[in-house]
């Protein structure tokens, strides 16, 4: 296995889909993401862009769209860079955190207005993670342990961005637990970083299971995504 450049060398028949079928699946996933995007624009209007930039969940939503566009541009049979593999790992781990925190903490918060938001909520806090997990099942990206620093950087950057917006721009919390006026905000941020580590480790474990059979295979090797 060659892990240095973010690509795993393996035999194409070890995976359920061939290269051309993987390409078709990615087109479908991109179509799902773009259709969801268009629905949100039609339902909420263009003001959605300016008003939703403060939410990390929308950062993940937009970045997932970018991933499926970029991966199609690089496909097929091109050597994927280490940074691209780390980008995928970071995005998948981030979506795990976004989805888990939203449905377990934020959605149940009494301040969250659930009226007429069912489709919007599922679209932003469910579809991106689902599409990335489907892609993960069939792609050949091999992520390495050093990618955690990128996930940590994203978390730190958003925490600083959130604090500035809450204290100096909006004057109100974006997420109810993050008021930045007491130690509860610091504790919530620390727990979020811990959850990031758990999500990142989970992706590594899933990858280990995914490639277990390939590791012990004596078949010929080729570079594929």
pTM comes to 0.79
- pLDDT for 85: 80
The pLDDT mean for the chain works out to 76
More confident residue, 110 or 202: 202
Q: Tell me the helices (H) and strands (E) count for the chain, helix number first.
A: 9, 2
- Is residue 155's pLDDT more than 80? yes
Tell me the pLDDT tens digit for each residue of 159-205: 899 999 999 998 888 888 888 988 888 888 888 888 888 888 888 88
Closest by Cα among 120, 122, 126, 95 to 39: 120
- pLDDT for 132: 94
Residue 113 contacts residue 170 (beta carbons within 8 Å) = no
For residue 26 the two structure tokens come to 């990615």
Domain ranges of the chain: 9-223
- Is residue 122's pLDDT more than 70? yes
- Is residue 72's pLDDT more than 90? no
- pLDDT for 110: 53
- Is residue 7's pLDDT more than 70? no
Provide the Cα torsion 144, 96, 158, 187; round to 10°.
Answer: -110
């Amino acid at each position: 296995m060659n892990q240095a450049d973010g690509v795993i060398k393996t035999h194409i028949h070890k995976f359920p889909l061939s290269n051309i079928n993987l390409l078709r699946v990615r087109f479908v996933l991109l179509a799902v993401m773009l259709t969801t995007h268009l629905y949100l624009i039609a339902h909420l209007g263009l003001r959605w862009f300016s008003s939703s930039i403060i939410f990390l969940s929308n950062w993940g939503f937009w970045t997932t769209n970018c991933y499926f566009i970029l991966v199609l541009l690089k496909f097929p049979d091109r050597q994927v860079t280490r940074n691209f593999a780390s980008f995928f790992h970071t995005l998948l781990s981030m979506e795990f955190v976004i989805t888990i925190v939203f449905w377990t903490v934020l959605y149940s918060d009494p301040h969250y207005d659930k009226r007429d938001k069912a489709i919007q909520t599922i679209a932003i806090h469910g579809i991106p993670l689902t599409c990335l997990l489907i892609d993960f099942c069939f792609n050949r990206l091999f992520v390495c342990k050093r990618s955690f620093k990128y996930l940590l950087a994203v978390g730190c950057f958003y925490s600083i961005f959130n604090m500035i917006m809450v204290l100096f721009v909006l004057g109100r919390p974006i997420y109810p637990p993050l008021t930045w006026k007491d130690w509860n905000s610091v504790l919530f941020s620390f727990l979020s970083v811990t959850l990031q580590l758990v999500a990142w480790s989970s992706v590594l474990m899933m990858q280990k299971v995914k490639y277990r059979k390939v590791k012990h295979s004596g078949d010929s090797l080729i570079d594929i995504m």
